[in-house]
């Protein structure tokens, strides 16, 4: 039994340091005989046990954070998950997710695994996630990590951190900030499958053609017309599903390709990433 007197001030100090509950902090200090460092380790171990016990739980809530480097040459988007919308809207949870995004944009890890192996204030991100699980009592994790590098990258977060978009352009200017936001909002709303026709997977094209042909035959059209009509349907698919060929939602008189060219001659999108929470 501990002979050290655990005061309310001690408990509050540990609570402020770790974010754990008052009773947990008091027990940690009691078990560690008032040693703060040992108490922190005790709470971390408790958090690890919580993480293990919740490993089979779904964590489809959370936040999506999209950010760019100061020079606008690189952008990252990360999805940090929890179990409930209540936690996802908590300012501390959003701050924790943002701190991971800050590391991602500053350190330039190659993969999600590399990101989790980085540190924040000397602690591994993977360990901090376990700590958060113990502190919050929900399964916490990082499920997605995407990167884009280009002459100019614009980041956009939509719907209270529920969707993040990165757009890379072949030109760089401050004027692209507003244009980039317009294009990012287009991507958020219209969910294109690629930048242009050449970016569409051959299997997707084959499937679209087969569906079109079956529809045309079901309508009783002559076989000699099937290929031609199917090609027309495929072009419609490209117009609806590829970014540069989509009708600009803010001006239906032009597509995104023309909108960009009107903004700056030769301006185009080189790549984009669209990350939806829980998808």
Q: Identify the bridge partners of residue 194 per DSSP, sorted by sequence position.
A: 242
Segment 77-98 mean pLDDT: 96
Question: pLDDT confidence of 3, banded at 50, 70, 90?
Answer: low
What is the Cα–Cα distance from 49 to 263, expressed in whole angstroms?
55
- The tens digit of pLDDT for each residue in 170-191 reads 999 877 999 999 999 999 999 9
Segment 50-73 mean pLDDT: 89
Per-residue confidence (pLDDT) for residue 2, from 0 to 100: 45
- The tens digit of pLDDT for each residue in 192-208 reads 999 999 999 999 889 88
Contact 143, 266 (CB under 8 A): no
What is the Cα–Cα distance from 5 to 24, expressed in whole angstroms?
16
Question: pLDDT confidence of 1, banded at 50, 70, 90?
Answer: very low
Contact 275, 163 (CB under 8 A): yes
Domain annotation for the chain: domains and CATH numbers? 8-53 (1.10.8.10), 61-195+270-276 (3.30.479.20)
């Amino acid at each position: 039994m501990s002979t050290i007197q655990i005061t309310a001030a001690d408990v509050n100090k540990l609570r402020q340091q770790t974010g754990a509950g008052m009773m947990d902090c008091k027990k940690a200090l009691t078990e560690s005989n008032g040693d703060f460092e040992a108490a922190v380790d005790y709470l971390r171990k408790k958090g690890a046990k919580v993480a293990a016990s919740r490993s089979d739980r779904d964590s489809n809530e959370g936040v999506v954070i999209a950010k760019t480097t100061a020079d606008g040459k690189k952008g990252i988007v990360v999805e940090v998950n929890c179990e409930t919308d209540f936690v996802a809207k908590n300012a501390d949870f959003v701050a924790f997710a943002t701190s991971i995004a800050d590391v991602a944009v500053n350190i330039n890890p190659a993969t999600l695994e590399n990101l989790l192996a980085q540190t924040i204030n000397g602690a591994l991100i993977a360990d901090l996630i376990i700590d958060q699980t113990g502190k919050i009592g929900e399964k916490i994790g990082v499920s997605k990590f995407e990167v884009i590098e280009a002459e100019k990258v614009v980041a956009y977060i939509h719907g209270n951190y529920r969707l993040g978009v990165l757009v890379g352009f072949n030109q760089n200017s401050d004027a692209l900030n507003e244009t980039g936001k317009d294009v990012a909002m287009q991507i958020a709303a219209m969910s294109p499958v690629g930048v242009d026709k050449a970016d569409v997977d051959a299997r997707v094209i084959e499937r679209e053609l087969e569906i079109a042909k079956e529809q045309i035959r079901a309508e009783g059209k002559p076989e000699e017309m099937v290929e031609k009509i199917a090609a027309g349907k495929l072009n419609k698919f490209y117009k609806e599903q590829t970014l540069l060929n989509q009708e600009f939602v803010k001006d239906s008189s032009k597509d995104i390709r023309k909108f960009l060219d009107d903004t700056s001659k030769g301006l185009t999108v080189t790549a984009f990433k669209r990350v939806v929470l829980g998808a």
